[in-house]
Protein backbone atom coordinates (compact mmCIF):
# COMPACT_ATOMS: atom_id res chain seq x y z
CA UNK A 1 0.00 0.00 0.00
CA UNK A 2 1.30 3.44 -0.82
CA UNK A 3 0.73 6.59 1.22
CA UNK A 4 0.06 9.77 -0.71
CA UNK A 5 -0.77 13.34 0.24
CA UNK A 6 -2.27 14.99 -2.83
CA UNK A 7 -1.99 18.56 -1.52
CA UNK A 8 1.78 18.30 -1.12
CA UNK A 9 2.35 21.70 -2.81
CA UNK A 10 0.36 23.35 -0.01
CA UNK A 11 3.03 22.28 2.50
CA UNK A 12 5.62 24.68 1.06
CA UNK A 13 6.70 27.10 3.83
CA UNK A 14 4.37 25.48 6.39
CA UNK A 15 5.37 24.63 9.95
CA UNK A 16 7.15 21.35 10.60
CA UNK A 17 5.21 18.62 12.35
CA UNK A 18 6.12 16.17 15.09
CA UNK A 19 9.83 15.75 15.68
CA UNK A 20 10.64 17.48 12.34
CA UNK A 21 11.71 14.23 10.66
CA UNK A 22 10.24 12.96 7.40
CA UNK A 23 8.49 10.02 9.10
CA UNK A 24 6.43 12.47 11.18
CA UNK A 25 5.39 14.32 8.02
CA UNK A 26 4.32 11.11 6.26
CA UNK A 27 2.37 9.94 9.29
CA UNK A 28 0.66 13.31 9.80
CA UNK A 29 -0.35 14.09 6.23
CA UNK A 30 -0.46 10.77 4.38
CA UNK A 31 -1.91 8.73 7.23
CA UNK A 32 0.94 6.22 7.36
CA UNK A 33 1.17 3.93 10.41
CA UNK A 34 4.22 3.55 12.65
CA UNK A 35 7.30 2.45 10.70
CA UNK A 36 7.16 -1.01 12.25
CA UNK A 37 4.11 -1.63 10.04
CA UNK A 38 5.62 -0.27 6.82
CA UNK A 39 5.94 -2.75 3.95
CA UNK A 40 8.10 -2.53 0.87
CA UNK A 41 6.13 -1.47 -2.17
CA UNK A 42 6.73 -0.87 -5.85
CA UNK A 43 10.20 0.22 -6.93
CA UNK A 44 10.53 3.98 -7.40
CA UNK A 45 13.40 4.15 -9.86
CA UNK A 46 12.01 4.38 -13.37
CA UNK A 47 8.39 4.27 -12.17
CA UNK A 48 6.59 6.89 -14.24
CA UNK A 49 3.26 6.01 -12.63
CA UNK A 50 4.32 7.23 -9.18
CA UNK A 51 1.97 10.05 -8.16
CA UNK A 52 3.26 13.36 -6.86
CA UNK A 53 3.04 13.38 -3.06
CA UNK A 54 3.64 9.64 -2.67
CA UNK A 55 5.90 8.84 0.27
CA UNK A 56 9.04 6.88 -0.55
CA UNK A 57 11.37 5.08 1.84
CA UNK A 58 14.47 2.91 1.68
CA UNK A 59 14.05 -0.79 2.40
CA UNK A 60 16.83 -3.33 2.85
CA UNK A 61 15.88 -6.98 2.49
CA UNK A 62 12.21 -6.03 2.79
CA UNK A 63 12.64 -4.00 5.99
CA UNK A 64 12.44 -0.25 6.43
CA UNK A 65 16.08 0.80 6.80
CA UNK A 66 15.61 2.76 10.06
CA UNK A 67 13.96 -0.08 12.00
CA UNK A 68 17.19 -1.48 13.34
CA UNK A 69 17.90 -5.14 13.96
CA UNK A 70 15.38 -7.51 15.50
Half-sphere exposure (CA, 13 Å, Cβ side) for 53?
Answer: 13
Interval 17-52: pLDDT, tens: 999 999 999 999 999 999 999 999 999 999 999 999
d(CA 28, CA 32): 8
Please state the pTM of the whole predicted model. Answer: 0.80
Q: Are strands 63-64 and 59-60 parallel, antiparallel or unpaired?
A: antiparallel
Amino acid sequence: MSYTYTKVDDLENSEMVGNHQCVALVRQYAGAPATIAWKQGTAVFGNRLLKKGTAIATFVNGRYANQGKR
